[in-house]
């Protein structure tokens, strides 16, 4: 849904929608649209699988399932399912930790390194298009805002 268009659309009435609610809806809409675009771009794997690959690559040492789940903001069960699919496709290996055999560490494979290299230029073009015409200061403000929203969400306790 194009919210700019929908705001003007007589079938949808956003009048009176408070900004926080509108923003949450907008973030959800953007996430859905981005995921669909990325799923098409990557073909072999989904955006969520590629996001897991990105997150694994951010760690200085290969992460555990618990660490990766926390960074991705998802449950252990969901991340485990993503990793099992990636493992079956040859993108990751899950190996016992050298110090604590109860833990498994998640490693990129050579296939992942090649995949990332092959998709780097296209990813850069897509990200460039997404942020085209947006002042870098606004991007920084958006990052700070979403980080604060994330911190606040972590404090929400539902009974």
* CATH code at position 123: 1.10.10.10
The pLDDT value given to residue 15:
74
pLDDT tens by residue, 25-80? 889 999 999 999 999 999 899 999 999 999 999 999 999 999 999 999 999 999 99
Does residue 49 sit within a domain? Answer: yes
pLDDT tens digits, residue range 75-127? Answer: 999 999 999 999 999 999 999 988 888 899 999 999 999 999 999 999 999 99
Answer whether residue 28 is part of any domain.
Answer: no
Contact, 118 vs 110, CB < 8 A?
Answer: no
Contact 57, 50 (CB under 8 A): no
Distance CA 105, CA 33 (A): 32
- Residue 90 CA to residue 78 CA, distance in Å, equals 19
Q: Residue 1's pLDDT band (boundaries 50, 70, 90)?
A: very low
Q: Angle at the Cα of 50 (from 86 to 67), degrees rounded to 5? A: 80
Domain count, the chain: 1
Residue 139 domain-assigned?
yes
Q: Which domain holds residue 78?
A: 44-154
User: pTM for this structure?
Assistant: 0.85
Task: Report how far residue 110's alpha carbon sits from residue 41's, in angstroms, rounded to the nearest whole number.
Answer: 20
Contacts for 110 with CB less than 8 Å, ≥ 6 apart: none
DSSP E strands in the chain: the ranges are: 92-96, 104-108
pLDDT score of 2: 56
d(Cα 10, Cα 19) in Å, to the nearest integer? 20
Is residue 23 in a domain?
Answer: no
Distance, in Å, from the CA atom of 66 to the CA atom of 80, rounded to the nearest integer, reads: 10
Residue 78 lies in a domain: yes
Burial class (CB in 10 A: 0-12, 13-18, 19+), 151: exposed
Distance of alpha carbon 37 from alpha carbon 7, whole angstroms = 23
């Amino acid at each position: 849904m194009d919210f700019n268009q929908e705001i003007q659309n007589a079938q949808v009435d956003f009048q009176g929608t408070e900004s926080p609610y509108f923003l949450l809806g907008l973030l959800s809409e953007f996430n859905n649209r981005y995921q669909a675009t990325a799923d098409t771009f990557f073909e072999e794997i989904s955006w969520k699988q590629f996001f897991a690959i990105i997150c694994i690559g951010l760690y200085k040492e290969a992460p555990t399932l618990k660490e990766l789940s926390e960074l991705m903001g998802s449950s252990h069960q969901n991340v485990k399912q993503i990793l099992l699919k990636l493992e079956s496709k040859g993108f990751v290996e899950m190996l016992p930790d050298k110090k604590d055999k109860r833990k498994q560490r998640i490693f990129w494979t050579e296939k992942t390194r090649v995949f990332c290299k092959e998709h780097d230029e296209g990813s850069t073009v897509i990200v460039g298009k997404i942020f085209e015409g947006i002042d870098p200061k606004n991007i920084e403000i958006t990052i700070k805002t979403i980080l604060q929203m994330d911190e606040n969400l972590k404090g929400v306790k539902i009974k």
